[in-house]
Structure 1
């Protein structure tokens, strides 16, 4: 049984343990704010169009500062960057609380605060990922990333449920306050880190040139480049979340404003990722990481094709088909969790320390941008061929694209690490 459940050896390292335990608290707090911001915007404006602006106001700083933040993390002491950005996240959450407590209704102020918060987050996350190889040996990185992703996905399920229960009882301002307070746990863990200077750091201050140099480095590293390519293939073609509202309403008979089927569809992928994380003990024993990524993405593609197939058969037996569709989404979530753990570990261990932050910045942009492109493509495809065909066809395209990528980049498939223990 010990070989099946998550590998907890990274938690024996004190710095990682403190960061991970703090993450359990702060992820819930962050999810409360993620729910509270659109809820407050809709309450203030009554317009879904204004709520939709959170996508633009969140994605733009995430892309810009994700790339620039990675460049910062390759020059300055990474502990210092984490202290500054964590303090910035605390400050923005506190401002969210203040404006809500004072009864603020200015939607543009909310969106501006949200953009600033996402900018701090975009600098914090690449830096935080780039820190792990400094405090853990390479063979423990897959296990460490699995532990981190399990907490994140659990928060993605629990946070909205907690927020939905608390908003009618205590109001939005208290959700922002909880987020503010929980972030101090992360600040404490970050302050306990040792100095984390970058090996062979550039002497000049980072700028556009530093970002371009990061992409130039990536161009000559086929293994690392393909880790991004296969993730883009998986997310752009295979993420069907934009179809969930229509599928829940038309195929499984839920109300047009949501309902149980709607909630289950959205929860299935992160639930599968959590289960996959709990039983991720095997990831630390995998040496052929490139091949493992290919297999995981193929499973994701097959699962999304199966999801589309069962949606298409909803008229036959709605309850059974819904259950089978949810199983496919959960299977895909578990496969995606493992794939992400391996790909993150490859970036952390195979890249030079001097460019590690910039590559993690690119990773953040790909992870955030891929599903948003998928939303557009799946929405347009569903309008033309229907939701079932769009979801199933996307899964098939993932399989085809991944096979082609594996054939074109055999070095990625052959990539492996050597375990020392």
Structure 2
């Protein structure tokens, strides 16, 4: 029984800080609704265009606005009350989703509107996340930051397992209008979580948003070798190992099952993240975070390569029924693909626990918002580069080729980059060094 408790997630951040607990609950419910809309927009775009490239471009179109918003949001979080910054940005997301809901119910949705709303939501959410993550170290002690990051994995697991699966079912049986409406209802929990926080202003010297603030952040990251390398490693993983833009086409023409398969494949990633957080006791206690990041991202690359191998098997008709379509699916290969994706989700979550803790523990509070903004740009921007890589390469080759090639690229590049940085592998959470 003792061993079992030691292996389960550490819940002390929730019991130590009621403010953190409220923010965590609100963020989880709002994130669940957000995933409904993210997956529904992908399916909506595929219904309107029948183009995998058009689906991939949803993510790509939001890349530059998201980068600008993430960086500027980080500067705002280092200059003003972080609670207020998060509330204003969350209000923009709420209004944007409300517009999408109204357009859908009235039959006025178009490809252009889907792109525009996806871009606005992406930018506003970057600001919310930058401010919210900069708040966390002010609510709980440093030794509980890995446990708080693991709770973030629980949030992500719930969001991306229940959300996409529910989105697939809602779209299939009720339509897009109800899906976007439910998102709005769940999003209201985010306001409750943020509104109940105390005022949280940055500590130390405050620099107004602008070029000087951005230059200060740039100078810091140039000297912060460990933080910089973990950003680079995550970009590598997300650029070459993010096949979600391919899921609608995989469900439609390769594995079958249509929207339900799209939701299940997306959910499988989060199931892996959820269980890796649920049994994160040893992960949170492991002090060598640099080495943990390296091993987790290599495991991620292997899982993505295995997913590509499953798609290759589907291309040759392995275990396939006589016909592939929305009503006829390759159940055996869908299950194997889900297992591979669950492995990728678990590995990515372990990496995220260590990467997030490194930023929160090693970066001074006065500049933490800007580094969290950059962290969000990397975390959210990497998958958009991945969508461009996967969508473009799949268009000119085959659906199985981007993940299979990308998995091998990730393993090779990560092993090389970490080998060239021995200080990163020796990073010790007891003595955090940016």
TM-score over 0.5 (shorter chain): yes
Q: Who is 2:10 aligned against?
A: 7
Q: Does 1:130 align with 2:127?
A: no
3-state DSSP of counterpart to 1:293: helix
Q: Do the aligned residues in 1 keep the contact of 2:164 with 2:264 (CA within 8 Å)? A: no
| 1:266-299 per-position Cα deviation (integer Å, ceiling 9, x unaligned) | 4332221122122222222111111111111121
Q: Do the aligned residues in 2 keep the contact of 1:24 with 1:151 (CA within 8 Å)? A: yes
Q: Who is 1:333 aligned against?
A: 345
How far apart are the structure 1 equivalents of 2:131 and 2:33? Answer: 20
Q: Who is 2:78 aligned against?
A: 74
Q: Which moves more between the two structures, 233-242 or 76-85?
A: 233-242
* Count of aligned pairs: 414
Q: 1:8 to 1:167 in 2, by over 3 A?
A: same
How far apart are the structure 1 equivalents of 2:248 and 2:49? Answer: 19
Q: Do the aligned residues in 1 keep the contact of 2:309 with 2:404 (CA within 8 Å)? A: yes
- Counterpart selection for 2:229 from 223, 226, 230: 226
| Pairwise CA distance, 1:73 | 0.8
Q: Which moves more between the two structures, 129-138 or 30-39?
A: 30-39
3-state DSSP of counterpart to 2:62: helix
Q: Who is 1:362 aligned against?
A: 374
| Pairwise CA distance, 1:76 | 0.9
Q: Which moves more between the two structures, 72-81 or 182-191?
A: 182-191
- Counterpart selection for 1:177 from 176, 181, 206: 181
Q: Do the aligned residues in 2 keep the contact of 1:311 with 1:322 (CA within 8 Å)? A: no
Q: Who is 1:210 aligned against?
A: 213
| Structure 2 runs not aligned, ≥5 long | 320-330
How far apart are the structure 2 equivalents of 1:275 and 1:264? Answer: 16
Q: Do the aligned residues in 1 keep the contact of 2:305 with 2:408 (CA within 8 Å)? A: yes
| Pairwise CA distance, 1:378 | 4.0
| Pairwise CA distance, 1:124 | 0.9
How far apart are the structure 1 equivalents of 2:152 and 2:6? Answer: 19
How far apart are the structure 1 equivalents of 2:415 and 2:393? Answer: 23
Q: Which moves more between the two structures, 220-229 or 110-119?
A: 110-119
3-state DSSP of counterpart to 1:331: helix
3-state DSSP of counterpart to 1:76: coil
| 1:101-140 per-position Cα deviation (integer Å, ceiling 9, x unaligned) | 4443465455444433333212111111111111111221
Q: Do the aligned residues in 1 keep the contact of 2:66 with 2:123 (CA within 8 Å)? A: yes
Q: Who is 2:412 aligned against?
A: 400
| 1:33-91 per-position Cα deviation (integer Å, ceiling 9, x unaligned) | 22444555667x55657666533443332111011111111111111212222233333
Q: Do the aligned residues in 2 keep the contact of 1:76 with 1:198 (CA within 8 Å)? A: yes
- What is the root-mean-square deviation in Å for CA atoms of aligned residues? 3.1
TM-score of the superposed pair, with normalisation by structure 2: 0.84
Q: Who is 1:83 aligned against?
A: 87
- Counterpart selection for 1:373 from 380, 385, 389: 385
Q: Who is 1:271 aligned against?
A: 271
Query: Where does 1:232-251 land on structure 2 (aligned, <5 Å)?
Result: 232-242=235-245, 244=247
| Pairwise CA distance, 1:396 | 2.3
Q: 1:259 to 1:9 in 2, by over 3 A?
A: same
Q: Who is 2:255 aligned against?
A: 254
How far apart are the structure 1 equivalents of 2:126 and 2:106? Answer: 28
How far apart are the structure 2 equivalents of 1:138 and 1:246? Answer: 44
Q: Does 1:140 align with 2:144?
A: yes
Q: Which moves more between the two structures, 12-21 or 108-117?
A: 108-117
- Counterpart selection for 1:151 from 145, 152, 155: 155
Q: Do the aligned residues in 1 keep the contact of 2:273 with 2:348 (CA within 8 Å)? A: yes
| Pairwise CA distance, 1:411 | 1.4
Q: 1:231 to 1:105 in 2, by over 3 A?
A: closer
Q: Who is 1:166 aligned against?
A: 170
How far apart are the structure 1 equivalents of 2:170 and 2:262? Answer: 20
Q: Do the aligned residues in 1 keep the contact of 2:158 with 2:274 (CA within 8 Å)? A: yes
Q: Who is 1:96 aligned against?
A: 100
Q: Do the aligned residues in 2 keep the contact of 1:153 with 1:270 (CA within 8 Å)? A: yes
How far apart are the structure 1 equivalents of 2:126 and 2:111? Answer: 22
Q: Does 1:303 align with 2:306?
A: no
Q: Does 1:190 align with 2:202?
A: no
3-state DSSP of counterpart to 1:418: coil
| Structure 1 runs not aligned, ≥5 long | none
Q: Who is 2:322 aligned against?
A: none
How far apart are the structure 2 equivalents of 1:188 and 1:249? Answer: 39
How far apart are the structure 2 equivalents of 1:106 and 1:243? Answer: 21
| 1:379-416 per-position Cα deviation (integer Å, ceiling 9, x unaligned) | 55557776556533322222221121112111111111
How far apart are the structure 2 equivalents of 1:200 and 1:418? Answer: 23
Q: Do the aligned residues in 2 keep the contact of 1:83 with 1:191 (CA within 8 Å)? A: yes
